[in-house]
Amino acid sequence: MLQRIWTVIQKEFVQTFRDRRTLLLQLSMPVIQLLLMGYGMDTNVNHIPLVVADQSRDSASQAYVNALEASGYFDVVAYVSDETEVVQTIDGGGAQAGVVIPHNFVTQVERNDAQVLVLVDGSNLLVSQSAYNMATIIAEAHATEVLMENVARTGLLDDGRSLLPLEALVRILYNPNLEAIWFVVPGVCAMILQTQSVALTAAAVVREREVGTIEQILVTPIRPLELMLGKIAPNVLIAMANLLTILVLGIWVFGVPFQGNFWLFLWLAFMYVFSGLGLGILISTISQNQKQVEQMIMMVMLLAVILSGFMFPRDKMSVFIRLAGNLFPLTYFIPIARGIISKGIGIEFLWEQLIAMCIYGIVIMLAATRAFRRGLE
Amino acid sequence: MQKSLRRTFAFIRKEMIQSLRDWRTLLMILAMPVIMMFFFAYAVNLLVDHMPTAVADMSRDDESRAFIEALEISGYFDAKMYVESEEDVIRMIDEERAKAGVVIPPDFAARVERGDAQVLIVFDGSESLAVQTGYSAASAIAQTHSVELLMSKAGQMGAALGALGGGALPIDTSIRVLYNPDMDGLVFMVPGIAAILLQLLTIGQVSMVVVRERELGTLEQLLITPVRPLELIISKVMPNIIITIADTVLIVLIGVVWFDVPFRGSIWLFAWLSLLFIVSGLGLGLLVSTVSQTQKQAQQITAVLMVLTTMLTGLFYPRLTMPPVVRAVGDLIPVTYFIRIARGIITKGVGLSFLWRDVVILVIYAIVVIVLASLTFRRRLD
Instruction: Report the complex ipTM.
Output: 0.74
Taking residue B250's Cβ as centre, other Cβ atoms within 10 Å add up to 17
Q: How many CB atoms lie within 10 A of CB B67?
A: 27
Residue B82: band (very low, low, confident or very high) from pLDDT cuts 50, 70, 90: very high
The pLDDT of A240-244, averaged and rounded, is 88
B154 near B164, Cβ under 8 Å? yes
d(CA B90, CA B86): 6
Q: Nearest Cβ partner of A167 from B118, B165, B354?
A: B118
| Residue A47 forms contact with B (CB below 8 Å) | yes
> Quick check: A125 and B189 CB within 8 A?
yes
- State which residue of chain A sits closest to B171, comparing Cα positions: A114
Asked if A37 and A184 count as a contact pair (C-beta separation under 8 A), the reply is yes
pLDDT band at B155 (very low <50, low <70, confident <90, very high): low
Cβ-nearest to A164 among B113, B123, B150: B150
Which residue of A lies nearest to B32 if distances are taken between CA atoms? A299
Distance in angstroms (rounded) separating the CA atoms of residues A86 and A78: 9
Nearest to B189 by CA among B254, B130, B240: B254
- Decide: residue B73, CB within 10 A, 0-12 exposed, 13-18 middle, 19+ buried: exposed
Please judge whether A343 and B94 are an interchain contact, meaning their C-beta atoms are less than 8 angstroms apart: yes
| A127: pLDDT strictly greater than 70 | yes
Q: Dump pLDDT digits (tens) for A4-62.
A: 888 888 888 888 888 888 888 888 888 888 887 777 666 667 788 999 999 989 988 99
Q: Beta-carbon neighbour count of residue B351 at 10 Å?
A: 14
User: How close is the nearest chain B Cα to the Cα of A220, in Å?
Assistant: 24
Interface residue of B22, B284, B304, B335 to substitute, partner A, most A CBs within 10 Å: B304
Determine the Cα–Cα distance for residues A16 and A25; give it in Å rounded to an integer: 12
Q: Is it the case that residue B156 has pLDDT exceeding 70? A: no
Give me the mean pLDDT over the B234-248 stretch. Answer: 83
pLDDT of residue A377: 58
Percent of chain A with pLDDT over 70: 94
Q: Do B321 and A47 touch (CB under 8 A)?
A: yes
Among A349, A331, A330, A325, residue whose Cα is nearest residue A339: A349
Chain A segment 174-233 residues within 8 A of B by beta carbon are 174-176, 178, 180, 182-183, 186, 191-192, 195, 198-200, 202-203, 207, 210-211
Residue B47 confidence (pLDDT): 64
* Of residues B111, B149, B173, nearest to A139 (C-beta): B173
Higher pLDDT, B310 or B44: B310
Chain B nearest-CA distance from A82, in A, is 15
pLDDT cut 90: percent of chain B above it: 12
Q: What is the reported pLDDT for A176?
A: 72
Query: Are the Cβ atoms of B183 and A306 closer than 8 angstroms?
Result: no
Mean of pLDDT values over B215-225: 78
Q: What percent of chain A has pLDDT over 90?
A: 13
The 3 state secondary structure assigned to chain A is CHHHHHHHHHHHHHHHHHCHHHHHHHHHHHHHHHHHHHHHCCCCCCCEEEEEEECCCCHHHHHHHHHHHHCCCEEEEEEECCHHHHHHHHHCCCCCEEEEECCCHHHHHHCCCEEEEEEECCCCHHHHHHHHHHHHHHHHHHHHHHHHHHHHHHCCCCCCHHHCCEEEEEEEECCCCCCHHHHHHHHHHHHHHHHHHHHHHHCHHHHHHHHCHHHHHHCCCCCHHHHHHHHHHHHHHHHHHHHHHHHHHHHHHCCCCCCCCHHHHHHHHHHHHHHHHHHHHHHHHHCCCHHHHHHHHHHHHHHHHHHCCCCCCHHHCCHHHHHHHCCCHHHHHHHHHHHHHHHCCCHHHHHHHHHHHHHHHHHHHHHHHHHHHHHHC
- Give yes or no for a contact between A100 and A53, defined as CB atoms under 8 angstroms apart: yes
Determine the residue of chain A that is closest to B174 in CA distance: A117
Q: Work out whether strand B100-104 and strand B117-124 pair parallel, antiparallel, or are unpaired.
A: antiparallel
Average pLDDT over residues B314-318: 79
Residue A154 has what pLDDT?
67
CA distance A256 to A184: 10
Please tell me whether residue B57 adopts helix, strand or coil conformation: strand
B176 three-class SS? strand
Q: Does B157 touch chain A (CB under 8 A)?
A: yes
Tell me the mean pLDDT in the region B175-199. 79
Locate the chain B residue with the closest alpha carbon to A101.
Answer: B173
User: Can you name the residues that pair with B104 across neighbouring β-strands?
Assistant: B57
Is a pLDDT exceeding 60 seen at residue B163?
A: no
Give the three-state DSSP class for B314. coil
Averaged pLDDT, B269-289: 90
Q: Do A342 and B125 touch (CB under 8 A)?
A: yes
CA trace torsion A293, A299, A302, A306 (10° rounding):
-140
Mean pLDDT of A240-251: 88
Exposed e or buried b per residue across A306-315, where buried means at least 16 C-beta atoms within 10 angstroms of its C-beta: bbbbbbbebe
pLDDT value for A160: 47
B102 three-class SS: strand
pLDDT given for residue B160 in this prediction:
47
What mean pLDDT comes out for the span B72-90?
A: 88
From the list A165, A321, A349, the residue facing B43 with the nearest CB is: A321
- Identify the residue among B91, B313, B320, B361 best suited for mutation to test binding to A, counting A beta carbons within 10 A and taking the highest: B320
User: CA–CA separation, B350 vs A208, rounded Å?
Assistant: 51
Other residues' Cβ atoms within 10 Å of the Cβ of residue A5? 18
Mean pLDDT, rounded, for A143-154: 76
C-alpha distances (whole Å) from A56 to each of A53, A64, A65, A82, A243 are 9, 11, 12, 11, 58
Which residues on adjacent β-strands are paired with residue B79? Answer: B53
Cα–Cα distance between A338 and A259 in angstroms, integer? 10
Q: What is the pLDDT of residue B268?
A: 93
% of chain B at pLDDT higher than 70: 92
Asked if B183's CB is within 8 angstroms of A39's CB, the reply is no
**Averaged pLDDT for residues B100-119:** 86
Does the CB of B189 have a partner CB in chain A at under 8 Å? yes
- Which of A294, A324, A342 is nearest residue B126 as measured by Cβ atoms? A342
Cα separation values, A88 from A47, A71, A149, B333, Å = 20, 25, 36, 28
Give me the pLDDT at residue A330, please. Answer: 92
Query: What pLDDT digit, counting tens, does each position of A187-233 carry?
Result: 888 888 888 788 778 777 787 877 778 778 778 888 878 887 888 88
Residues of B with Cβ-Cβ distance to A122 under 8 angstroms: 177-181, 183, 187-188, 347
The whole-number pLDDT of residue B46 equals 62
CB B298 within 8 Å of CB A27:
no
With a CB-CB cutoff of 8 Å, which residues 235-274 of chain B face chain A?
none
User: pLDDT for A341-364, tens place per residue?
Assistant: 888 888 888 888 889 999 998 999
For CA atoms B89, B90, B92, B93, the dihedral sign is positive
Distances (CA, A) of B45 to A260, B73, B179, B307, B344: 30, 21, 18, 21, 22
B356 touches chain A (CB under 8 A): no
Residues 275-294 of chain B with CB under 8 A from chain A are 293-294
Query: Which of chain A's residues have a Cβ under 8 Å away from the Cβ of B200?
Result: 298-299, 302
Pairing of strands A97-101, A114-120: antiparallel
Measuring CA to CA, which residue among A181, A192, A348 is closest to residue A269?
Answer: A192
- A169 in contact with B at a CB cutoff of 8 Å? yes
Q: Give A252's pLDDT tier (boundaries 50, 70, 90).
A: confident
**A142 vs A175, residue with greater confidence:** A142
Residue B326: CB atoms within 10 A of its CB come to 22
Residue B306's pLDDT band (boundaries 50, 70, 90)?
confident
Mean pLDDT within A282-293: 82
Q: Does the beta carbon of A84 lie under 8 angstroms from any beta carbon of chain B? A: no
Q: Does A302 touch chain B (CB under 8 A)?
A: yes
In eight-state DSSP terms, residue B222 is: H
Confidence of residue A158 (pLDDT cuts 50, 70, 90): low
Q: For residue B168, name the pLDDT band (cuts at 50, 70, 90).
A: low
Closest chain B residue by Cα to residue A16: B296
Angle between helix B335-342 and helix B185-206 axes, rounded to 10 deg? 140
What's the burial of B281, exposed, middle or buried (CB within 10 Å: 0-12/13-18/19+)?
Answer: buried
| Residue A161 pLDDT class (50, 70, 90 cuts) | very low
Looking at chain B, which residue has its C-alpha nearest residue A115? B172
For A271, other C-beta atoms within 10 Å of its C-beta total: 18
Q: What is the pLDDT of residues A99-118, one digit of tens each?
A: 999 998 888 888 878 888 99
